[in-house]
Amino acid sequence: MSEKNVQFAQTLYPSEIDLVAVFADTQLIEGLRPLIHPDLEAVFEARNIPMGPASIESAGEAAQPTVTGLDGLVRAWREWLSVWDAWVMTPTEFLDVDQERVLVLMKVRARSKTHQVEMPVEGANLLTIRNGRLARLEMFLDQAEALEAAGLSE
């Protein structure tokens, strides 16, 4: 168990965060760079939601879309967020999974640009932290899937 990793996760998810604003702020992104491993692997576990062509690799139908590095993550999210007015994440719980991983459960409120419809989601991010830096980020739109991936499902 690593309280240090939970504290690191709380630094990345301090409170309510609107990703539309975050990914539009180049200075904020650059400020995060020291916290992100240069070989970060970001995996979008929501296979049925297209993340677009922003340098996302996907090997076959069953594979999850994946990007590498902070720059790859930023490109993918900027493209994804281009159709949203808001994508607001609020962490609700930080679960210490093991020596390297923390599961962040969250509520998401998203509002589309086209229809102005607000969509509530209960998602989660599974973080792998190595040497004080985020090395892997697995993003889920379903908390049950995230709990299972973390080995925490009942």
DSSP state of 92: E
**Residues 33-68: tens digit of each pLDDT:** 999 999 999 998 754 444 444 444 444 444 567 899
Closest residue by Cα to residue 72 from 57, 58, 55:
55
Q: State the pLDDT at residue 63.
A: 54
H or E, element range at 108: strand 101-112
Closest residue by Cα to residue 11 from 35, 37, 42:
35
Its CATH architecture, for the domain 3-149, is Roll (3.10)
Q: State the pLDDT at residue 45.
A: 77
120 vs 55, higher pLDDT: 120
127 vs 53, higher pLDDT: 127
Chain-centre distance for alpha carbon 38: 16
Q: Where are the domains of the chain?
A: 3-149
Around Cβ 116, how many Cβ atoms within 10 Å? 8
Work out the average pLDDT over 128-139: 95
Work out the average pLDDT over 21-41: 94
pLDDT confidence tier of residue 117, bands split at 50, 70 and 90: confident
CA 127/CA 66 separation, integer angstroms: 14
119 vs 38, higher pLDDT: 38
**Residues 68-112: tens digit of each pLDDT:** 999 999 998 898 888 889 999 999 999 999 999 999 999 999 988
For 131, the token pair is: 């040497």
**CB 26 within 8 Å of CB 74:** no
- Starting at the edge strand found earlier in the chain, the sheet holding 17-18 runs 17-18, 84-96, 101-112, 118-130, 133-140, 36-44, 66-68
Model confidence, pTM: 0.86
